[in-house]
Structure 1
């Protein structure tokens, strides 16, 4: 299949606005919604969050024209459970998918049939829905593929393990496998991210006259540092000290991994700039709200060096840790009509807040309970913002870990399998989580541990005794 044929026209995506509650007062067309989810982008990887080695001008502009959050958290510290939390509005003590669990030969642990997702919420609200990038919440032919989970259009990777390669043997367009034989035998002919971005842009154009919900789940800057050596790469080619990566752990060898990483984030920033420019060109900039974030903290795979870039910013930890660097992520929200430019919010929020936020934004009732709280009062600077009593995470690798934040106190319990250690931190005075206060505040530890024990339900698939 050639590239031109991939840029299809979504003429079948017909969505009607919800019925008016009051016929005498017609409901205004709701905002279009674009949710951009980067993959393993750290809290400090954007220049508006302090990155010094390179600049991200489009995301910086998005923050300058919108709202930047300083205390937003991913659903988990690895991909699949983080995305499940986002999709269902539930933290990892309640989600079905609580870890990265592979299904052979392609895919991951699926969500159950009938699971209510962000896609279904937006379909119920009358939106055309599309997801472009990585799915990672099922396997081809399962009950949990984008088409069964509320998305009219899907283009990208079904399997997050296959998404480690930027020159894949295939991608998926809905339930159709799109083959790239030119990428076989380590070929570097067809780069996935540009195709995925083109599909996302086409979806926006095709649905410019109706409400749409587009999730742009690019895999940048995850896994191997393998990308076109074009003008984006060449601007960094001789910019940094480099230690060539030897290709261990199965990733592609890279001569200049630091240049590659900077180019990957820059490419992502360019994509965001093109989305914002297209919205303005179509006259949709004031009628579209754009969210940007990352699924967890920075990774150390494929030659990536978060220490060199200080990808975790002022935080401690990387992907697979429940320290702040593993779970606190960039979060920028942009809409020139509703969000005051240049605002910064310290409100403590998390992925599971997106379900009630979009429910309120679209005026659609939720048919399910969530762990989230709508962010609309903060985003619109209107009314009183409700606060979380606590945030909770669990991680099902490396012996198992749990974390809970209540106010500025944070308790970490690790590992769950084997000898257990409790760590207590005061994030107000110790953002880097250097000083364990557990022995000094036993009553606080007991209080938070009780919350932690009651925050979760048991899962037959993801339990802390699982090998």
Structure 2
């Protein structure tokens, strides 16, 4: 398959925005509540790869061992409906960084290093760490980048003053290849622990703050083994609950879950190390901790394995492009002492598309220095304020690397989900209120045509607002 061609950005550059806003002016917060905060917090974002919402104890999974993830939620907020706009890694990461949908930022599928070495998130798109750095934050990135390989895509040119990690989509869990101090080489040790070591060092160096540090773990992305024995031990000899659809190959699914859970527990153990370091440095009360994942995942649900580009577990191995809830829902827990009440549960639909405006509000980035984004700041929700909120979440996924290719567009409300496939498949309509596992497609049901048409109109209006090129195909 031929690689995709880089496309020009559709918004102004960071420099243009800063020039237009007069960046030398005194800092003014985007929201009055943020302005009133006595001190801007340090921000620690812990970001996993392929960890679904169901793979965290706080969401009701009694099989998995995630005490530190659960602690962050218990000491702060657990967001019960956190979505990704695109259920594969590179587009989801680009959306997190830009506050834009993949239709807008043009990172449509995971970036293939051989087929698409020139693709990435282009410099014309403003990334929120650029604005945080301009607002006085030290900005460090540790771990998986996967937003472009060329020098113009490098984190050190995209708002970060420190980078340690890898630019491609993956490296080995043991003895990985990493870039450290500008030199890329194979290193000895466990990747998950080495990333934590680097983050701890960065936090220690910048403990006087304010700092923004993002730790993007490779775990629990496959391959899951080898994994440290102490993390695997939690699941040795344990009977695991299988998901509906796993009966296609239950023994295989249970083995996969055991390895996947161990990888999640390795992250949890290292999250504990980070939390301990904040305590040792006496900066835990001054630091917002945000834990999340880049996209959801399936191990057995619908008889599938993986995410938006999932494949069947039972041979023959076939690809099933999808936007099922297990693919688009991710864990999200936020601890912010003095602001977020412990034990808070936020049920509004939020997304990683909302991180850009939310973090800019928290860091009090001048409103005039920001580009227009699709995301909405959920700072008011963290503060416990009642505000009007979205009643639907939209998403898109253009699959290029597997057959069949697909152009999926989604609208999801509390009770319904409509997914349109502009290339290869039929529409999908699920009544989530009575069919939360999305097993009965009602797209052709005569009794569901009115709601389908209503959702279709809303979806098309959203697509038109973003200039979606696939609209002419159906």
Alpha-carbon separation, structure 2, partners of 1:171 and 1:299: 28
* 1:182-241 deviations in Å (ceiling 9; x for gaps): xxxxxxx52222111110111111110121111111011111122344333344344458
Instruction: Note the 1:2-81 alignment, pairs <5 A.
Output: 19=26, 28-81=38-91
Please, which of 397, 416, 426 is the counterpart of residue 421 of structure 1? Answer: 426
Alpha-carbon separation, structure 2, partners of 1:33 and 1:194: 20
Please, which of 369, 372, 375 is the counterpart of residue 375 of structure 2? Answer: 372
Q: Is the 8 A contact 2:442 2:448 kept in 1?
A: yes
Aligned pair in 2 of structure 1 residues 46, 27: CA closer, same or farther (>3 Å)?
Answer: closer
| Deviation of the 1:47 alpha carbon | 1.2
Q: Is the 8 A contact 2:291 2:333 kept in 1?
A: yes
Tell me whether 1:442 sits opposite 2:455 in the alignment.
Answer: no
Aligned pair in 2 of structure 1 residues 18, 435: CA closer, same or farther (>3 Å)?
Answer: farther
Specify the SS of the correspondent of 1:94: helix
Q: Is the 8 A contact 2:99 2:352 kept in 1?
A: yes
Please, which of 101, 104, 120 is the counterpart of residue 110 of structure 1? Answer: 120
Please, which of 436, 443, 448 is the counterpart of residue 431 of structure 1? Answer: 436
* 1:413-447 deviations in Å (ceiling 9; x for gaps): 13x223x4122223233322233333323232223
What corresponds to 2:334 in structure 1?
A: 333
Aligned pair in 2 of structure 1 residues 464, 171: CA closer, same or farther (>3 Å)?
Answer: farther
| Deviation of the 1:150 alpha carbon | 0.7
Alpha-carbon separation, structure 1, partners of 2:455 and 2:36: 48
Alpha-carbon separation, structure 1, partners of 2:386 and 2:36: 24
| Deviation of the 1:91 alpha carbon | 1.8
Instruction: Note the 1:138-149 alignment, pairs <5 A.
Output: 138-139=148-149, 141-149=150-158
Tell me whether 1:386 sits opposite 2:389 in the alignment.
Answer: yes
Alpha-carbon separation, structure 1, partners of 2:116 and 2:204: 31
Tell me whether 1:88 sits opposite 2:98 in the alignment.
Answer: yes
Alpha-carbon separation, structure 2, partners of 1:464 and 1:263: 45
Specify the SS of the correspondent of 2:168: coil
Please, which of 459, 462, 466 is the counterpart of residue 455 of structure 1? Answer: 462
Alpha-carbon separation, structure 1, partners of 2:64 and 2:98: 35
Instruction: Note the 1:66-465 alignment, pairs <5 A.
Output: 66-104=76-114, 109-139=119-149, 141-160=150-169, 162-163=170-171, 165-167=172-174, 170-173=177-180, 175-180=182-187, 189-239=188-238, 257-298=256-297, 321-364=322-365, 365=367, 366-387=369-390, 390-397=393-400, 398-400=404-406, 401-414=408-421, 416-418=422-424, 420-438=425-443, 439=445, 440-456=447-463, 457=466
| Deviation of the 1:258 alpha carbon | 4.6
* 1:124-153 deviations in Å (ceiling 9; x for gaps): 2210111111000001x3311111111111
Q: Is the 8 A contact 1:121 1:359 kept in 2?
A: yes
Specify the SS of the correspondent of 1:93: helix
Q: Is the 8 A contact 2:142 2:214 kept in 1?
A: yes
TM-score scaled by structure 1? 0.79
User: Which 5+ residue runs of structure 2 have no aligned equivalent?
Assistant: 1-22, 30-34, 241-253, 314-319
Alpha-carbon separation, structure 2, partners of 1:361 and 1:451: 31
| Deviation of the 1:385 alpha carbon | 4.7
Alpha-carbon separation, structure 2, partners of 1:72 and 1:154: 27
- Aligned-residue CA RMSD (Å): 3.4
| Deviation of the 1:268 alpha carbon | 0.8
| Deviation of the 1:106 alpha carbon | 8.9
Specify the SS of the correspondent of 2:427: strand
Q: Is the 8 A contact 2:82 2:349 kept in 1?
A: yes
Q: Is the 8 A contact 1:201 1:275 kept in 2?
A: yes
User: Which 5+ residue runs of structure 1 have no aligned equivalent?
Assistant: 1-15, 181-188, 242-254
Aligned pair in 2 of structure 1 residues 105, 389: CA closer, same or farther (>3 Å)?
Answer: closer
